[in-house]
Structure 1
Amino acid sequence: MLHKFLWSLPLVAVGLSSPAHAALPEPVKAMIDAAIANGKKEEVASIIKFAKLSNPDEIDELDAIQSAYNAKQTQLAAEEKRAKMEAPFFENWTGEGELGGFRNTGNSSTVGLSGGIRLLKDAVKWRLKFRARADYQRSNGVTNREQYAAAIEPEYKINDRLFTYGLAQFDRDAFQGFSARYTVSGGIGYSVLKEKHINLDLKAGPAWRLTEFSDGGSDSSLAGLIGLDLGWTIAKNLKLSQGAGATLASDASSLTSANVIFSSGNNTLTTTTALDAKINGKLSARFSYAVEHETNPPDGREKTDTLSRATLVYDF
């Protein structure tokens, strides 16, 4: 009997010196699962970090959860990259359609329409943007606004931030004094800010512009282009953008871009500031203010033209 008691003493000592292994508490597991389901790496890493501090005996299990999550994210990124590389040209496009209008009767009769479309294909090494817009207004039987614009802009990604761009653009605005204006440009761009909720791209390059005036005659000139794309998701359902192009790649994507084209004869600034308020998953209300400034417009034309819009936007 005595020898059995003496034999059990080492086992008791081991049990007293080594605390029992406790499972990861359910509330901690639930928080980690919720962060993983939300899809934000920063939240997952932060919650696991604090879970280690409050559960030092479960560091190995928490490290295993983090490693499995990282491996899954790497796999998903590789699959997304492969899908972009293998997708046919007419697949994996994103875009939005924009439409607004008004009608006024009584002492005056006014009708106005504003519409636009923006498309983006974002591949591994390149992006392709397309945008088109039309604004029309008629008051008391007289057309007093008729603007059309369309542009296509390919980009080649040199690295994560540096890219080259090309631009072919057409504009028509008889009330600014030209029946057609063609712009071709190419140059280099850089993503100054590239975060989930804010992005800022700058670009610059030479340009060539041909203008056909409403009263006859035309003018062509070499020029330079400086552009800016800014998008900022202020809150979950509120987004601010600055400019007149189309970049729809992320939550902070810009809807527009500010462009300055400068030449010896005439400099042109076009910019739009837009505020989007989401109504539901794909539908948003947009309030925007556009400015077009010509330093040397045709005789009898104002240098600055502005336009305020209230439109509905549908993402697809």
Structure 2
Amino acid sequence: MFIDSHLGRRSLLPLAAALAAGPHAAAAQETAEEKPRLWDSEAELGISTASGNSESTTYRGAVSGERDEGRTHLLLQTSGRYSEEEGESTTQRLQGDAQLDYDLNRSVYAFAALSALNDRFAGYELQLVETLGLGRHFFQDHETLEWRLDAGPALRQDWLVDDTYEDSVNARVRTKFAWSFAESSTFREQITWTQSVEDAEEYLLSSETSLSLRVNESLAFKTSVAVEHDSQPPEGAERTDVFTSTSLLYQF
């Protein structure tokens, strides 16, 4: 039987091209699938109500995002809380934080941080705190423990609800601890202390203690206690606020 050689070559060319392109196409697809996400983000929403002798409702929301690129690490987060009792507002708090870290070596990093707060019930129309400093990571070789400590000089500006303005030089210390004591459970503690260098009795202290239980890869339940203490609050404001909440976390 006679077969045209030109026809045979023409029929083999597409097959050869497909075989040659196959490994490259598979490699390209695998690379696209393994490409890391630019941001690790999390959203939180909590609602609590009370009825009976008093009617009250509290809403809490937060969004955060982290991005790692080489030696640089960026954290952005914002949170808000609104409460009303018997139809009247009792809490209106909005806070935003940003921190940029640069690794000097495996354990030590330099950072720049900015914190902004609006809390009219605490007497602040706006409060800004800017910090530069150094930090250190601990337990880097431990799979279930994470601890970091950073500190540095800070500038603080307060715009008060009575239309007055104050500023001061401070020292800021922050510690963050996380313990994944079970496959789906994590305990976290964060404490931030901002101390005036001009007045030893003037400082801000905030802490949040939380426990989260993961339901699946994206969802988790979280219960937390947050304490905000101002040693010299504006006139008419309480020194200490304590907030408890249970909320739903969604990672994306």
Query: Which one of 220, 226, 251 corresponds to residue 167 of structure 2?
Result: 220
Q: Distance in 2 between matches of 1:229 and 1:95?
A: 18
Letter of the 1:132 counterpart: T
Q: Which residue of 1 aligns with 2:64?
A: 118
Tell me whether 1:170 sits opposite 2:116 in the alignment: yes
Q: Distance in 1 between matches of 2:219 and 2:38?
A: 20
Q: Distance in 1 between matches of 2:203 and 2:80?
A: 23
Tell me whether 1:159 sits opposite 2:105 in the alignment: yes
Larger gyration radius, structure 1 or structure 2: 1
What does 1:73-88 correspond to in 2, within 5 Å?
none
Q: Which residue of 2 aligns with 1:313?
A: 249
Letter of the 2:194 counterpart: I
Tell me whether 1:202 sits opposite 2:182 in the alignment: no
Letter of the 1:213 counterpart: L
Q: Report percent identity of matched pairs.
A: 23
Q: Distance in 1 between matches of 2:126 and 2:100?
A: 22
What does 1:134-283 correspond to in 2, within 5 Å?
134-194=80-140, 195-243=142-190, 258-263=191-196, 264-265=198-199, 266-283=202-219
Q: Distance in 2 between matches of 1:214 and 1:309?
A: 27
Report the structure, 1 or 2, having the larger strand content: 2
Query: Which one of 26, 41, 46 corresponds to residue 95 of structure 1?
Result: 41
With normalisation by structure 2, the TM-score equals: 0.81
Aligned length: 216
Q: Distance in 2 between matches of 1:108 and 1:226?
A: 39
Q: Distance in 1 between matches of 2:136 and 2:209?
A: 21
Displacement of 1:102 in angstroms is: 2.7
Question: Bigger relative contact order, structure 1 or 2, given CA contacts below 8 A and separation 6+?
Answer: 2
Task: Return 5+ residue gaps in structure 2 as ranges.
Answer: 1-30
Q: Map Cα deviations across residues 211-236 of structure 1 (whole Å, 9 max, x no partner).
A: 11112201011111111011110110
What does 1:26-105 correspond to in 2, within 5 Å?
92-105=38-51
Displacement of 1:237 in angstroms is: 1.0
Q: Which residue of 1 aligns with 2:223?
A: 287
Q: Distance in 1 between matches of 2:160 and 2:184?
A: 43
Task: Return 5+ residue gaps in structure 1 as ranges.
Answer: 1-78, 85-90, 244-257
Displacement of 1:310 in angstroms is: 0.5
Q: Map Cα deviations across residues 247-275 of structure 1 (whole Å, 9 max, x no partner).
A: xxxxxxxxxxx111000342001110000
Displacement of 1:285 in angstroms is: 0.6
CA contact under 8 A between 2:48 and 2:245: conserved in structure 1?
A: no
Displacement of 1:106 in angstroms is: 5.3
Q: Distance in 1 between matches of 2:51 and 2:245?
A: 20
CA contact under 8 A between 2:151 and 2:174: conserved in structure 1?
A: yes
Displacement of 1:95 in angstroms is: 1.4
Q: Which residue of 2 aligns with 1:297?
A: 233
Displacement of 1:303 in angstroms is: 1.4
CA contact under 8 A between 2:171 and 2:194: conserved in structure 1?
A: yes
Report the structure, 1 or 2, having the larger helix content: 1
Q: Distance in 2 between matches of 1:103 and 1:176?
A: 22
With normalisation by structure 1, the TM-score equals: 0.65
Tell me whether 1:127 sits opposite 2:73 in the alignment: yes
Aligned to 1:175, the other structure's residue is in SS state helix
Aligned to 1:115, the other structure's residue is in SS state strand
Q: Distance in 2 between matches of 1:196 and 1:202?
A: 18
Letter of the 1:270 counterpart: S
